[in-house]
């Protein structure tokens, strides 16, 4: 039952994220509530190390909010701040659907069996394909980080656009 609630909450998180981003910011409070449901239902399924890290992060962040007497609007913004990463990870999982429907694994198996007879050849093929896909998919990092940090940078730095573009581009290049 808890797993079902978590999955429904994850779906709702994606929907509210899209609504908040594309249509109306009034959905932000609903999105924050859904994110809390995802946290509560998913926390028990985390490994011990992740539970400790997430618990420390939650306690530290909550303490800062209480100490600073943050208004409700700020709490909602902070909760929703990390939703972009969660939604990105969820949406990336959707790429497995057309792969399964298209039966690509059988085509890859057929090609790899005839073209790569040794384990070394197969290893090279897997590494090359993974590198190409990772390179393409990681390009999503740039707009995600730009959107996530845009408001903060515009409040603190002039000229904000070139500063943010330079910082994100440099970090992306260093990560490659």
What pTM was estimated for this model as a whole? 0.59
Let me know whether 22 and 108 are in one domain: no
pLDDT at 67 over 90: yes
The predicted-structure confidence for 69-122, as pLDDT tens digits, reads as follows: 999 888 888 888 878 778 877 887 777 788 788 888 888 888 888 888 888 888
* Domain endpoint, select from 92, 112, 144: 92
Q: What percent of the chain has pLDDT over 90?
A: 6
Q: Do 172 and 116 contact (CB within 8 A), yes or no?
A: no
Within the chain, where are the H helices? 2-18, 28-43, 48-67, 72-81, 83-93, 96-101, 104-115, 119-137, 141-156, 160-175
Closest CA to 142 of 96, 80, 84, 91: 84
For residues 72 and 146, state if they share a domain: no
How far apart are alpha carbons 36 and 34 in whole angstroms?
Answer: 5
111, 164: one domain: yes
Overall domain count for the chain: 2
The parent domain of residue 24 ranges over 1-92
Across the chain, mean pLDDT equals 83
pLDDT per residue as tens digits for the range 138-156: 777 777 777 777 888 888 8
| Cα three-residue angle 100-134-137, rounded to 5 degrees | 75
């Amino acid at each position: 039952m808890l797993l079902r609630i978590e999955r429904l909450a994850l779906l709702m998180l994606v929907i509210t994220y899209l609504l908040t981003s594309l249509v109306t910011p009034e959905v932000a409070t609903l999105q924050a509530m859904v994110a809390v449901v995802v946290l509560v239902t998913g926390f028990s399924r985390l490994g011990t190390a992740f539970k400790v890290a997430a618990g420390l992060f939650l306690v530290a962040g909550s303490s800062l909010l209480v100490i600073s007497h943050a208004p409700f609007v700020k709490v909602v913004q902070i909760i929703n701040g990390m939703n972009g990463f969660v939604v990105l990870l969820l949406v990336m999982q959707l790429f497995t659907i057309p792969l399964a429907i298209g039966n690509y694994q059988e085509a890859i198996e057929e090609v790899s069996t005839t073209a790569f007879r040794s384990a070394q050849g197969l290893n090279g093929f897997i590494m090359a394909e993974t590198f190409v896909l990772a390179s393409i998919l990681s390009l999503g990092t740039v707009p995600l980080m730009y959107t996530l940090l845009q408001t903060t940078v515009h409040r603190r730095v002039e000229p904000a656009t070139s500063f943010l573009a330079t910082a994100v581009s440099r970090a992306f290049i260093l990560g490659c």
